[in-house]
Amino acid sequence: MRRTIAILAVVLGVVAVAVVFYVRRPAPADDVPIPAAPSRILIVGIDGLDWSRVNRLADEGRMPNVARMRSEGSSGILHSIRPFVSPTIWTCIATGKTEEKHGISGFVVNMPDPADASPTTSNMRKVKAIWQILSAAERCVAVIGWLVTYPADVVNGYLISSHVTLALSAKREARAPNQTDDWLSEGIYPRSLWSEVADNVYHEEDVGDSIIESFIDTSVDRARQEEKVRTSSLAKFYAADMTSLTLARHFFETRPADFSAVYFRGSDITSHFFWRFMEPESWKKELSAEAIETFSPVVERYYALADSLLGEVVKLVGDDTYVVLLSDHGFAGHRGYRGFEGDVAVGIEMHREDGIIFVSGPGIKRGGSIAGASVLDVTPTVLALAGLPVARDMDGRPLTEVMSSTFLERYPVVYIDTYEVGDGPDGDLTPIESPVDEEIKEMLRSLGYID
Ligand SMILES: [Zn+2]
């Protein structure tokens, strides 16, 4: 009996200690353990996600991974820069510098004959991208699908350009004969990864009808009847996004890096093609009731998909990783914003200023809000999180308001004049032509970005 009581007392004691520990387990902000050495960083870039819509869908439980980042980290509007051109903005994000300094202006470089216009390429960048700065600091980097990364930069790690993800995810039969394996491997650094890349592609022809039907409210046959081009574009960009995810799954797991970045484009494309069905009253041209019924859910269901892509990628990195979720600009289909073509928004006129930024990780304030952040602030912030100096010739600032005081005591922000020393980027005036140019231009035309 005495022994039983003694055992019971010990058990109760253990339980009591556990309860005290549990209750006293400190919550938020400064109490999150901060690593002694700089932690890893993941950027998930999702094109065109709009701040207010993302937050509403997070409130409604349709973007649970975003909602988690919002409560576990800090978030706010990421202000874009006019004229909201994605290749330019993603380069602002990757360099911390304005278009004037980084040299990537627009989707294409215009030629006297518009048919000769060529998509902007990485050799035209005049300043170092974050993956080059981190490589020089001997950090290992992993970049998948970021815009304007063809030809692939030499990095300490690996880089798979957006030319490659777009070309490989297209239908096998549609691949032009000049899109050879040899050419495609120019979009990959190191080239030796080519066969591994090719083994981890999600092809457009593998997008089954049931997947298309998960985005719409009728059968895929009826959708094709009503809007053939839009329906096939949905399959195309779903496949491109799934290719980025499949590549991330393979490479982030087999070759974890100090800095990883992955880019998804489908949310912007689907917004261009389907926003009008979600807000038909804002669309001047008459839309059929059938088309509205069929396609009105596409945009928000693609936002939900973007949320699950975020969730899948975050699972691939450790809990000690800083996660930065961002979009390059917001989106609006309705009137009230500038520059409409006969009252109907097309192309970049549908983009608006309010992109998103969510940051979470060790030492990041929980439930914090970020005010006045710009696309130019991302690279300075990544450098500060990596424990590296911010350069004074960058146009943005590190978002120190997301970092706890303990973090900033351990890793105070330090500055240097510039990273533009030694072997720099080329800053060429002419793009490098590629066998995927026609495909890219076709996409840009269909979106109304170019004539
Ligand atoms: Zn767009």
Query: What CATH number is given to the structural domain containing 263?
Result: 3.40.720
- Work out the pLDDT band at 334, boundaries 50, 70, 90: low
- Note whether 289 and 8 are within 8 A (CB): no
Going from the Cα of 47 to the center of ligand 1, the distance in angstroms, rounded, reads 7
Class of residue 181 by CB neighbours under 10 A (exposed 0-12, middle 13-18, buried 19+): exposed
Going from the Cα of 226 to the center of ligand 1, the distance in angstroms, rounded, reads 23
Q: Tell me which of 14-23, 32-41, 166-175, 371-380 is least confident.
A: 14-23
Q: In the predicted model, is pLDDT for residue 33 greater than 80?
A: no
**Does residue 65 sit within a domain?**
yes
CA gap 186, 428 in Å, rounded:
17
Question: Closest by alpha carbon to 334, among 356, 317, 349, 312?
Answer: 349
Going from the Cα of 87 to the center of ligand 1, the distance in angstroms, rounded, reads 10
φ, ψ (nearest 5 deg) of residue 58: -65, -40
Going from the Cα of 265 to the center of ligand 1, the distance in angstroms, rounded, reads 9
- Work out the pLDDT band at 28, boundaries 50, 70, 90: very low
Number of domains in the chain: 1
Going from the Cα of 439 to the center of ligand 1, the distance in angstroms, rounded, reads 16
φ, ψ (nearest 5 deg) of residue 319: -60, -20
Going from the Cα of 84 to the center of ligand 1, the distance in angstroms, rounded, reads 8
Going from the Cα of 139 to the center of ligand 1, the distance in angstroms, rounded, reads 32
Place of tokens 């600032």: 397
pLDDT (0 to 100) of residue 23 = 40
Residue range(s) defining the domain that contains residue 182: 40-85+130-378
**Does residue 412 sit within a domain?**
no
Cα–Cα–Cα angle for 48, 250, 172, rounded to 5 degrees: 70
Q: In the predicted model, is pLDDT for residue 178 greater than 80?
A: yes
pLDDT tens digits for range 180-215: 888 888 999 999 999 999 999 999 999 999 999 999
**Does residue 366 sit within a domain?**
yes
Going from the Cα of 390 to the center of ligand 1, the distance in angstroms, rounded, reads 30
**Does residue 324 sit within a domain?**
yes
Going from the Cα of 156 to the center of ligand 1, the distance in angstroms, rounded, reads 31
**Does residue 58 sit within a domain?**
yes
φ, ψ (nearest 5 deg) of residue 31: -90, -5
Place of tokens 């070759």: 255
pLDDT (0 to 100) of residue 27 = 40
Going from the Cα of 275 to the center of ligand 1, the distance in angstroms, rounded, reads 11
Q: Is pLDDT larger for residue 443 or for residue 84?
A: 84
pLDDT tens digits for range 118-152: 889 999 999 999 999 999 999 999 999 999 999 99
pLDDT tens digits for range 361-380: 999 999 999 999 999 999 99
Structure tokens at 273: 């093609």
Going from the Cα of 440 to the center of ligand 1, the distance in angstroms, rounded, reads 14
- Work out the pLDDT band at 429, boundaries 50, 70, 90: confident
Going from the Cα of 138 to the center of ligand 1, the distance in angstroms, rounded, reads 35
**Does residue 228 sit within a domain?**
yes
CA gap 107, 437 in Å, rounded:
11
**Does residue 352 sit within a domain?**
yes
CA gap 26, 410 in Å, rounded:
20
Going from the Cα of 350 to the center of ligand 1, the distance in angstroms, rounded, reads 7
Going from the Cα of 230 to the center of ligand 1, the distance in angstroms, rounded, reads 15
Going from the Cα of 217 to the center of ligand 1, the distance in angstroms, rounded, reads 24
Going from the Cα of 347 to the center of ligand 1, the distance in angstroms, rounded, reads 6
Going from the Cα of 163 to the center of ligand 1, the distance in angstroms, rounded, reads 17
Going from the Cα of 147 to the center of ligand 1, the distance in angstroms, rounded, reads 13
**Does residue 231 sit within a domain?**
yes
CA gap 127, 95 in Å, rounded:
7
Q: Is pLDDT larger for residue 349 or for residue 137?
A: 137
Going from the Cα of 48 to the center of ligand 1, the distance in angstroms, rounded, reads 6
| % of the chain residues with pLDDT over 70 | 88
- 364 beta partners: 403
